[in-house]
C-alpha cells in the first residue's frame, strides 16, 4: 500500500463522522460551560454518536453492512434512520432537561444536516465525512477564536475530503457537496439560535 493510500485510510478512520459526533459535544460543552457542559455533551455524544455507531457495528458484524463507513449507499437507509431517531431523542432530552443553548443548537444542527443529507444520499452519494467535519468546524468556530479555528478547520476538512476521494469512496463533487451542506446548515442553525 502506497504511503498516500495509508494516510488517506488513517484520516478516513480517525476523522469518521462517528468519531467526530462522539468527540465534539463534550469538548464544545467543556469549552463553553466547563465540566457541567462537558457532561451535557457526553449525553449528546452517547445518543447522537454512540447509538448510530452501535447500530452500524452490529450491521457490520452481521454482514448486512460493508463497513463502518457505509460505502454501499444502498445500505445507508437503516443506519441513517437510526441516527435520525437517536438525534431526535437527544434533542428532546436536552431541551426538556434545560441543557445549555449551545448544545441544544449543536444537536439541532445535526438533525438539520441529517434532514438535508439523508434524502440526498438516497439518490446520490453525498459525503457524510465532509458534511460532519465541516459542521464540526463551524461549531468550534463559535467557541474558539473564529478566524484561526476556521483556517485550521478548513485545512482539516480539505484533508478529509482528499482522503475520501483518495480511497475511492467519493468523487470530488460528493465531498464538496458534503462540505457545503455541513457548513451552511450548521452555520444557519447556530445563527437561528443566536449562539
- Model pLDDT for residues 165-182, shown as the tens digit of each residue: 999 999 999 999 999 999
DSSP track, the chain: --HHHHHHHHHHHHT-HHHHHHHHHHHHHHHHHHHHHHHHHHHHHIIIIIHHHHHHHHHHHHTSSS-TT--SGGG-HHHHHHHHHHHHHHHHHHHHTT--HHHHHHHHHHHHHHHHHHHHHHHS---HHHHHHHHHHHHHHHHS-HHHHHHHHHHHHHHHHHHHHHTTSS-HHHHHHHHHHHHHHHHHHHHHHT-
Residue 64 has a pLDDT of 87
pLDDT number for residue 146: 96
Summarize pLDDT for 56-75 with one digit per residue, the tens.
889 889 988 887 777 777 78
C-beta neighbour count of 2 within 10 angstroms: 8
- Which has the higher per-residue pLDDT, 63 or 12? 12
pTM to 2 decimal places: 0.91
The residue among 66 and 129 whose pLDDT is bigger is 129
Amino acid at each position: 500500500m502506497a504511503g498516500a493510500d495509508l494516510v488517506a485510510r488513517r484520516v478516513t478512520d480517525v476523522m469518521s463522522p462517528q468519531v467526530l459526533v462522539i468527540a465534539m459535544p463534550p469538548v464544545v460543552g467543556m469549552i463553553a460551560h466547563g465540566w457541567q457542559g462537558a457532561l451535557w455533551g457526553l449525553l449528546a455524544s452517547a445518543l447522537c454518536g454512540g447509538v448510530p455507531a452501535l447500530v452500524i457495528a452490529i450491521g457490520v458484524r452481521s454482514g448486512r453492512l460493508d463497513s463502518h463507513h457505509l460505502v454501499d449507499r444502498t445500505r445507508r437507509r437503516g443506519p441513517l434512520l437510526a441516527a435520525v431517531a437517536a438525534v431526535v431523542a437527544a434533542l428532546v432530552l436536552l431541551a426538556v432537561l434545560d441543557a445549555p443553548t449551545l448544545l441544544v443548537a449543536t444537536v439541532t444542527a445535526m438533525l438539520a444536516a441529517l434532514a438535508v443529507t439523508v434524502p440526498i444520499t438516497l439518490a446520490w452519494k453525498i459525503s457524510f465525512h465532509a458534511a460532519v467535519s465541516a459542521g464540526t468546524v463551524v461549531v468550534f468556530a463559535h467557541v474558539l477564536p473564529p478566524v484561526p479555528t476556521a483556517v485550521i478547520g478548513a485545512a482539516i476538512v480539505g484533508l478529509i475530503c482528499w482522503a475520501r476521494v483518495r480511497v475511492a469512496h467519493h468523487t470530488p463533487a460528493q465531498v464538496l457537496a458534503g462540505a457545503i451542506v455541513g457548513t451552511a446548515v450548521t452555520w444557519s442553525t447556530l445563527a437561528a439560535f443566536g449562539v
